[in-house]
Amino acid sequence: MHMLQFSDPDTEVRNLIGGGWIPGGGPVAELRSPWTGQGIGRLFASSAADVATAVKAAQGPARAWGDLPLKERTAVMFRFRDELFARQDAIANSVSAESGKLLSESRAGLLKGIEVLEFALSLQNLDGGGKMLVSTGVTCEYRREPLGIVAGITPFNFPAMVPMWMIPLAITAGNAFLWKPSDKTPLTSLLLAEAARAAGLPDGVLSIVQGGREAVEAICDHPDIKAVAFVGSTPVARSVYVRATSNGKRALCLGGAKNHIILMPDADPEMAASGILASFTGCAGQRCMASSVVVGVGPVDDIVADLARRAGAMELGRDMGAIITAESVEKLRNAVGRAGSEGAQLLADGRGSIPVAADFGDGNWIGPSVLDHVQPGSQAACDELFGPILSVVRVENLSAALALENESPYGNAASVFTSSGAVAEEVARQAHAGMIGVNIGVPVPREPFSFGGFSDSRFGHGDITGMDGVAFWSRQKKVSQKWSLQKDQNWMN
Ligand code: NAD
């Protein structure tokens, strides 16, 4: 009954080096679809030597691409946008088949990625530098320069969107970009690369090295890679940040999250129930912007009960997609069980849910769970579980809710559902998170507003999209010039 097309189990996931598809020299891993468990490809992991080969092949292209005027680079990126739109069905299918997302979610992720590309396309009009007469006959100007060869390491949960936070800005800024996709969801990288090549992006300006830890460490260590962006879990984000910066690179590493929604008793019940449901079940809870804790302030029982009823009625495979691996399903099942044994009320228990289609039977499935009266400080209240589990913690007032939110070591997103402007403003001011929502469950900023959290959700300075992203992938040169015949003395002469 499903509409997904699965790639052949013999599909080879290779590296893109200097325009050729070359298998990595590391171990080979079977890729399985979270929907059905069937084989959908074979990943050839990369060794440090493969990373070195890719960097070497990118050196000439990096220089030539960086020397082109911004407008010429942008012309290629305009065609890249066309090619992505022309392939959007195939890309969305690939994202869904390998990550377990619903097709609608995969399509939305791609469109959000294209929005970053559109921001990059506008740089030729927005980012003209600046020049000023700073003294008689003397001008000062800004020039933005590329860094050379830069790298991006991306997570499984957004195989198209997260790379598209990086690729358009890094490449439009004039760099050669080396991409290390998730080893769990590498197939979509083949389609994005084909779109870039069809757009006329020169060979070597976008390279791909497949694989896992060995490739990542080689990227952090390679002296000719000047900047590393990473998106993934907090422990790996932290270690990549430390390793890359200790090797003298700039690094921006986005990590995991535990996002809170403060639910006030004056919230619009429909808006709150549908917004919270979408936040914790969208992408089956596998997104860094998912809210996994509701901090219920005072009498919010009706809304929580409605949420649990709606969650229990969701159909797996139709309303919610699959979980990335069988091991992750097991961890989620254990987390629900542990919360129950620690006293939480299981208003909805996803462990018994079965998918709507019989041929999803060998996939990785768990339904949404709503746990009420979860203890602050417990695993369900504090840890990133990365699945469709909502923990409801009860508090008496707004200050207690904010104190609980502030205690989290993460700081990606926080939201409030309320009909009071004053409460909304208090949460926007006091919550410790980089992205705040008011009556919005997934407060992802739209471009040109940039994406990024605080604390353990982001190591490094600045956000990954918007003008911060442009700054990350470039450096500014200040050029002062005197072209004047007059000989007056002043402090600049
Ligand atoms: P992950 O940390 O396991 O993997 C991320 C990348 O690092 C992948 O490319 C992977 O191959 C590589 N990797 C894995 N283990 C490594 C190791 N030990 N050393 C070096 N590299 C390693 O993350 P994931 O499971 O793919 O993605 C889910 C996580 O990403 C969640 O924690 C989620 O919150 C986070 N995430 C954060 C954001 C954000 O914007 N902050 C966005 C999406 C996902």
Residues 293 and 248 in one domain: no
Q: Can you tell me the mean pLDDT for 269-288?
A: 98
Domain membership flag for residue 164? yes
The pLDDT of residue 319 is 98
Domain assignment of residue 26, given as a range: 12-255+457-477
Atom of ligand 1 nearest to the CA of 288: 34
Q: What is the CATH number of the domain that holds 189?
A: 3.40.605.10
Residues 296 and 406 in one domain: yes
283 is an active site residue = no
The pLDDT of residue 128 is 85
Residues 90 and 165 in one domain: yes
Q: Can you tell me the mean pLDDT for 238-246?
A: 98
Tokens of 68: 């082109």
Domain membership flag for residue 444? no
Residue nearest to atom 17 of ligand 1 (CA): 213
The pLDDT of residue 391 is 98
Q: What is the pLDDT of residues 182-222, one digit of tens each?
A: 999 999 999 999 999 999 999 999 999 999 999 999 999 99
Q: Are 110 and 90 in contact (CB under 8 A)?
A: no
Rounded distance, CA 256 to CA 337, Å? 23
Sign of CA dihedral 482, 488, 492, 493: positive
pLDDT at 493 over 60: no
Type of residue numbered 221: D
Atom of ligand 1 nearest to the CA of 257: 34
Q: pLDDT above 70 covers what percent of the chain?
A: 98
pLDDT at 2 over 70: no
Residues 71 and 33 in one domain: yes
SS3 at position 322: coil
Q: What is the pLDDT of residues 284-315, one digit of tens each?
A: 999 999 999 999 999 999 999 999 999 999 99
User: Could you give the C-alpha distances from 345 to 330, 332, 341, 353, 431, in angstroms and in order?
Assistant: 20, 16, 9, 18, 27
Domain membership flag for residue 28? yes
Residue-averaged pLDDT of the chain:
97
Rounded distance, CA 347 to CA 6, Å? 36
Q: pLDDT above 90 covers what percent of the chain?
A: 96
Using most ligand atoms within 8 A of CB, pick from 47, 219, 288 the residue to mutate for ligand 1.
288
Residues 294 and 245 in one domain: no
Domain membership flag for residue 43? yes
Rounded distance, CA 492 to CA 338, Å? 70
Report the number of distinct structural domains present in the chain.
2
Q: What is the pLDDT of residues 307-343, one digit of tens each?
A: 999 999 999 999 999 999 999 999 999 999 999 999 9
Q: How confident is the model at residue 129 (pLDDT cuts 50, 70, 90)?
A: confident
Residues 96 and 59 in one domain: yes
Residues 251 and 270 in one domain: no
Domain membership flag for residue 448? no
Quick check: CB of 384 below 6 Å from ligand 1? yes
Rounded distance, CA 197 to CA 258, Å? 38
pLDDT at 98 over 90: yes
Q: Are 54 and 47 in contact (CB under 8 A)?
A: no
Using most ligand atoms within 8 A of CB, pick from 233, 291, 412, 444 the residue to mutate for ligand 1.
233
pLDDT at 491 over 70: no
> Which H/E stretch holds residue 40?
strand 39-44
The pLDDT of residue 474 is 98
The pLDDT of residue 434 is 98
Q: What is the CATH number of the domain that holds 272?
A: 3.40.309.10
The pLDDT of residue 317 is 97
Quick check: CB of 157 below 6 Å from ligand 1? yes
Residues 200 and 287 in one domain: no
Of 220, 253, 283, 288, catalytic: 288
Q: How confident is the model at residue 1 (pLDDT cuts 50, 70, 90)?
A: very low
Residues 220 and 319 in one domain: no
Residues 213 and 268 in one domain: no
Domain membership flag for residue 234? yes
Residues 129 and 270 in one domain: no
Kindly state the DSSP code that residue 314 receives in the 8-state scheme.
P
Residues 403 and 466 in one domain: no
Domain membership flag for residue 173? yes
Quick check: CB of 253 below 6 Å from ligand 1? no
Q: Are 233 and 256 in contact (CB under 8 A)?
A: yes
448 upstream amide cis, omega within 30 of 0: yes
pLDDT at 484 over 80: no
The pLDDT of residue 256 is 98
Quick check: CB of 252 below 6 Å from ligand 1? no
Domain membership flag for residue 484? no
Angle between helices 161-172 and 103-126 (to 10 degrees): 20
Q: Which residue has the tokens 């969107």?
A: 161
Quick check: CB of 153 below 6 Å from ligand 1? yes
Rounded distance, CA 312 to CA 304, Å? 12
